[in-house]
């Protein structure tokens, strides 16, 4: 992965803030995340968060995200189950369909995950979880 603080593919842009240990994620409008998007996310996060098990967060703006397929969810779930004791996810702008997917993901992984209407509230919640958002 290297020292890059941002990566992108056709569906996703991820920016890493090493000071706060927050990965900000945005999706291409109308996208459904599929099998190749899972390893893309996991590889980026793995390169940034390292192996020290330090707290980190994902702040995902789901505006325009249509959904995810089973392969994407399986890959992302494996990663977040391994990190559930020191990671959390804040989701912004989730449609009703994405909100259901997010809730199922939260239950399946056991990760701290919450949906928010605005970024300020999401960052405030991350701070209560030990993330310097």
Quote the pLDDT of residue 92.
97
- Answer yes or no: is pLDDT of 4 > 70: no
Structure tokens at 10: 């056709």
CB distance 110 to 84 below 8 Å: yes
At residue 98's C-alpha, the angle toward residues 69 and 58, to 5°, is: 90
117-126 pLDDT, tens digit per residue, is 999 999 999 9
60-112 pLDDT, tens digit per residue, is 999 999 999 999 999 999 999 999 999 999 999 999 999 999 999 999 999 99
Identify the residue whose tokens are 């939260």: 106
CB distance 56 to 21 below 8 Å: yes
Quote the pLDDT of residue 2.
43
Q: Which CATH superfamily is domain 6-128 in?
A: STAS domain (3.30.750.24)
34-74 pLDDT, tens digit per residue, is 999 999 999 999 999 998 999 999 999 999 999 999 999 99
Quote the pLDDT of residue 36.
97
Residues 4-14, mean pLDDT to the nearest whole number: 94
- Answer yes or no: is pLDDT of 1 > 80: no
Report field, pTM of the whole predicted structure over 0.75: yes
Domain boundaries, the chain: 6-128
């Amino acid at each position: 992965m290297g020292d890059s603080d941002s990566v992108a593919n056709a569906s996703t842009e991820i920016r890493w803030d090493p000071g706060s240990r927050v990965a900000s994620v945005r999706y291409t409008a109308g996208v459904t995340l599929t099998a190749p998007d899972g390893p893309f996310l996991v590889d980026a996060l793995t390169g940034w968060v390292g192996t020290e098990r330090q707290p980190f967060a994902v702040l995902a703006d789901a505006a325009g995200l249509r959904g995810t397929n089973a392969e994407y969810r399986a890959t992302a779930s494996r990663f977040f189950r391994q990190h559930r004791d020191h990671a959390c996810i804040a989701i912004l702008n989730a449609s009703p369909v994405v909100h259901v997917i997010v809730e199922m993901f939260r239950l399946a992984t056991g990760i701290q995950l919450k949906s928010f209407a605005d970024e300020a509230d999401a960052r405030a919640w991350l701070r209560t979880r030990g993330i310097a958002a």
